[in-house]
Amino acid sequence: MTFDFHFDDGRHEKHSNWTMWSIAMLLLRHYNIWSDDQLEAELMQLAMRKTSQGQVTASRKEKVTVGEDGEDGSVKKGASASTAKKIERYMKGKTLTISVEQIGEAEDEDSIVEAYAAKIEIRNLKNSWKVPLHEAPKFVQKHFSETAEEAVKWAVESTKLTKRLVEALSDAETPMKEDLFVRLISNDGNVITPNESTYLMSIFMGGLKSLMTDQNLESLEILRSRFVAMVGHFGYAAGSGQNFKVY
């Protein structure tokens, strides 16, 4: 998941989910919805999650590495160089995408059980062509089977976290429209106005310094949170009087 800012003048800026989530968490403390202790714990947990995901990804990459047939240690999981080349040709100019949608919710004693559905597709980079993974050639399905399984789990977890942060921020009282943070964090193509960008920039320029404890800064560093760059993009939108959409 990424958050792409598309400005009126055609400029695009991409931010990671880690950046947006960490900004949402800082905002929750700014509005006194979270305590200092909760902010520290949530950022630390998010940093641990990122570290864990990186280890899983590195392990998975090692498992699917392929090389020339017959070279000692170069062929993993039974894949051959010819298969790798077929996959490379098929996936040229394409990407694997996963979209998640909540399809149900039910109460179970003292908890709420949520149901999600995931759609796995191969698309070209212009999004003008797509095919479900299960309709792709068998060698492509096999190649992505483990990757897709892990990615679906991650996509569902990401969707749940985004939903939780958006719902928590709905309690924030601001002079802007009440759905500001829903539009900012939902990456559904919603518009952020220049006035809203000015407001967001002012929060980060003047209200978050006290939150930058050593522990929080360490977590933000692990997350590689580019919140300073995002604030700069709020400033660009505000200064140039442009809307931007978040995808």
- DSSP for 16-34? EHHHHHHHHHHHHHHTTSS
What residue segments make up the domains of the chain, in order of their start? 1-63+171-247, 66-156
Q: Distance between CA 124 and CA 104 in Å, rounded?
A: 30
Q: pLDDT value at position 61?
A: 42
β-bridge partners, 82: none
Q: pLDDT value at position 118?
A: 79
Positions of the chain with pLDDT under 50: 55-77
What is the tens place of the pLDDT at every residue in 114-162? Answer: 777 778 888 887 778 888 988 989 988 888 887 777 778 878 888 889 9
Q: Give Cα separations from 27 to 157, 186, 232 (angstroms).
A: 21, 15, 17
194-206 and 227-240 helices, crossing angle to 10°? 140
Q: pLDDT value at position 79?
A: 54
Q: pLDDT value at position 110?
A: 67
Contact status, residue 190 vs residue 183, Cβ threshold 8 Å: yes
Q: pLDDT value at position 161?
A: 92
Report pTM: 0.71
Contact status, residue 137 vs residue 144, Cβ threshold 8 Å: no
Q: Distance between CA 115 and CA 201 in Å, rounded?
A: 36
Q: pLDDT value at position 199?
A: 95
Q: Distance between CA 149 and CA 155 in Å, rounded?
A: 10
